[in-house]
Structure 1
Amino acid sequence: MEIIQMSPLDAAEHIAAFIAQTIKTYETEQPGQKPFNVFPGFLPEWKSRKEQQDNCPAIAVHPSQVIDNENESHSVISVLVCTYDDDMKHGHSSLYQILEYLRAALLTEKRVGQKFYVMEDVKTVIPAEQPFPRWWGQIDINVSLPQPMCDYSTIWGDEP
């Protein structure tokens, strides 16, 4: 019997693969768009402006929360999008476009990796403080997970 991985990290890796594939369509729709770097995990630390410019746009995908309650378990998968633009007045616009493109793709697809379901409560955040000339925002996606079940017979014994 094959064990199916359905951990939060597995969900993040599947979402990163989905985004890497999906963002290729965005790149072809935008003339002159640099290819995206998609990282399962976190963004590398780029010290110089040259490193930032060379590596952006970039997307990092990682699990940021796991939430268990009485009826369900889910993980919050954070999608961090980082762009680079020297234009102080309009540089943020490409960030908004990419975030919206990804949000719509995730909500339209719903099932990622044939085993993770994207729940309706998706949250996009664009902080007011931006590390110019980089621009960043984050999409938090709730993904359903299998709910761990307690075997009460190990606690109370086999008898009711």
Structure 2
Amino acid sequence: MNTQQILPLVPPFTGEIATQKVRKAEDGWNSRDPQKVSLAYTIDSVWRNRAEFVKGREEIIKFLTRKWQRELDYRLIKELWTFDLDRIAVRFAYEWHDDSGNWYRSYGNENWEFDLSGIMHHRYASVNDLPIKEADRKFHWPQGRRPDDHPGLSELGL
């Protein structure tokens, strides 16, 4: 039996649990399923994403629906930065293109806070977009979950 099957992903976090929590979040976002992703957040979850403020699962679903209608062929990698008892900080990068075929790599940091059941109740994200050429893309896997053997951010030099 692997560790992920026996360790609940709830606070207080250890390095192993925090790392698994980050990968699970990455997998969810790479599904690009707003309904599925919203379940990782409390009913009254509070977000700051760039300059947008979102409250509750219904607004999260609307936000993510708009996001993935605009950010096409989205592929994300998250990496654990640090953790505490009920908080996790991550850095991330994702690649996407707009409806005109312009490619971007978006870089950012997120601070997460969880309730005792491991559901996130606060998410603060800062994000910057860098225009890139399609030839400069680094995230090449079929839509969905990043394969286990695909390099992470540190291995890619990001």
Give me the TM-score of the superposition, normalised by structure 2: 0.36
Q: Which has the higher strand share?
A: 2
Please say which structure displays the higher CA radius of gyration.
Answer: 1
Give me the TM-score of the superposition, normalised by structure 1: 0.36
